[in-house]
A and B are shown apart, each in its own frame.
Chain A
Amino acid sequence: MIEDARRLPEGTLIETDLAIIGAGAAGITIARELAGTDFQICLLESGGLEFEQDIQNLYTGENDGRWYFPLDKCRLRYFGGSTNHWGGWCRPLTPIDFEVRDWVPYSGWPITRADLDPYYERAQTVTETGPFHYDATAFWEKQTGAKMLPLSLGLITTTFFQYSPPTRFGTRYRKDIEQAANVRALLHATVTEIETGETGAEVTGLRVATLEGPSFRVRARRYILATGAIENPRLLLLSNRSQPGGVGNTHDLVGRFFMEHPHVPGVAGMVTSRPEAFNTAYTQHLSLADSIVHAALIPTDALLRRERLLQAVFTIGVMEVYTTEKLASAAPADQQRARDIFNLQRDLDPPRATDHPPAGYNDWPPAGALGASCAFGCACEQAPNPDSRVTLSEERDALGLPRARLDWRLSETDKLSLNRIVRAVAEEFGAQSLGRVRPALSEDGNWPEETIGGYHHMGTTRMADSPDLGVVDANCKVHGVANLYIAGSSVFTTGGASNPTLTIVALALRLADHLKKQSS
């Protein structure tokens, strides 16, 4: 059932088996998984069923590092959480992303991709995506009837995104929550403190407030914090009544290692004189019978290992289709140069036989296209950095709680890695006469000012076997706190270059299974 907490009597004490803080992708997934079990669940959501500005304002925070989006614009604080504005991009982390990579400080999850695979498969259903195939070029070639790019140097390979409709968890799964007899969802219920005993070894309750209504408490056997990678550490840090550093923060790790996927708009330009080599899947979302896919490019594991690089993923956007060899004389210099490159390729790169996709499927290339000017979109991995972090601000929100302060940092190493991968794309494309690439990045380690994130907050309660290196263990339980778990991308040990939602859902399913096993 779903209730409005503003109607509770002041000082109510709710006792339950499991309290889940946050009704976003992770919280709703766990509640759904445990619906119909013996667990009595209280799902606490700060917002209502729709957007409300005064609730959203609770997200307002400070940015203290490199430029970042206003924090209240990054997440949505109502039932369904940020899936209410999610773009729907799905892709799992790759196996190497979970490994200890000796060239990436603090890398290495305590779980492997194989551990997560069964949950990724189930997450496909939750996110309403297609079959669990992402890096299987042969599978998608069969599905689409088109050949993927003939990349041959072993530097870059094709991968695939799948698109969720996107699933708005709050609307799509609202009925499941309403109808679950063992789930009590409380709206407008903002947790203001996680209470622990004097030792901090166990959570004893939650203090909960409504903006202009009652305050109450929730007492549970277990608690799951699922409010995102900025709010999760914020709530742990501000819950410092008995533990001065906050809950679960004995090793001063809570809030550290904030990671994003740096996006550099137009990270490189590309001109091709072989448009027929790029099938529709590379240039736009491709709707198939049971899935929507988009082909993208990633570095091979061999390149990452050999040259000690970080992950990245590139998509291709078509800027202009060339249907003639000539260009208007008044064209800007950059367009003229791109056309010069196009002409050079037409002179030097021989036409090749290409496997054309079947009629009816293929919208690319358009009729008469001789070539195209394109731009790469890019999201890349940043290495975990303890100085990139979330702390508490001096400012307070409407409930009197310290706001979050974000200090997002990127390193020169992160940037140099991206530079090399862009060059690898140029090498692969040139070797197969697919195109010529113009990197838009400086060759040094300085990130361009226009570098932005992808609204992908990760890492601030990272997963590690050792409490010296992480806030949660392999089961997402907070080290040193017997009954507190964390769900969401704040537990990511490293971020890879995949959009996080599918992994968030997979980890939530895994945590739900863990709780079921513990219970039984």
Chain B
Amino acid sequence: MSLRVSRRTVLAALAAGIVGAAIGVRLYWPGGNVTREARRFAGILRHPDSAARLGRFYLEVNPREADAALLVRLIGAARGPALPPPAPSADEALRASLETRIRNDFVYGNLVKVDGWLLSLTEARLCALVSLLQDATPGKDA
């Protein structure tokens, strides 16, 4: 699975109106390595196998988001405080920021069905990210 952001993927996402949802909201563009950012986000989840199973359901319905860099950006673009830059002590700040995004998803009705469960779009995308990382690393639990 490629972790690069392709022009085609971005255009597809735009066409689907996905990025459009972020209008008026600060977009998050990680300055660092995409894989590292994806792993940092995914590292918040302590049960990667559970998350990956849910993530696969999400990607089945939203195949255009099967791109880690896109998912990282979409998660960053959700309503919430700025995500902290990578740093050894930033995990708690990152968790807090993601929690706010998840809460806001519920407040503003940004829900998505994942195998029938109504999840926040942000948490569903986090799960999707975990599944991509797992699938990109055969034989190794992300």
Chain A residues in the interface with B (C-beta under 8 A): 153, 325, 336-337, 339-341, 343-344, 346-350, 423, 426-431, 433, 436-440
Contacts and interface: CB of A to CB of B under 8 A. Distances in A.
B50 A344 contact: yes
B91 to A, nearest CB: 12
A430 B105 contact: yes
A349 B126 CA distance: 14
A348 B53 contact: no
B18 interface: no
B111 A341 contact: no
Nearest to A152: B107
Nearest to B44: A347
A440 B118 CA distance: 11
B47 A344 contact: yes
Contact of B107 (A336, A337, A423, A427): A427
A341 B45 CA distance: 12
Contacts of B116: 438-440
Contact of B103 (A339, A431, A436, A440): A431
Contacts of A341: 50, 54, 117, 119
Interface in B19-74: 44-47, 50-51, 53-54
Given A430-B106, A431-B106, A347 B46 contact: yes
B118 A430 contact: yes
B77 interface: no
Contact of A348 (B117, B118, B123): B123
Contact of A427 (B51, B54, B95, B111): B111
B95 to A, nearest CB: 8
29 contacts: A153-B106, A325-B47, A337-B54, A337-B115, A340-B47, A340-B50, A340-B51, A340-B54, A341-B50, A343-B47, A343-B50, A344-B45, A344-B50, A344-B51, A346-B47, A347-B44, A347-B47, A347-B51, A348-B99, A348-B102, A348-B126, A349-B99, A423-B111, A427-B107, A430-B118, A430-B120, A431-B103, A439-B116, A439-B118
A430 B50 contact: no
Contacts of B119: 341, 344, 430, 436
B127 interface: yes
- For A344, A350, A440, which residue has the most chain B Cβ atoms within 10 angstroms? A344
A344 B127 contact: yes
Nearest to A424: B109
Nearest to B53: A340
Contacts of B102: 348, 430
B56 to A, nearest CB: 11
Contacts of A429: 106
A431 B111 CA distance: 11
A347 B111 CA distance: 18
A340 B119 CA distance: 12
Nearest to A437: B118
B128 interface: no
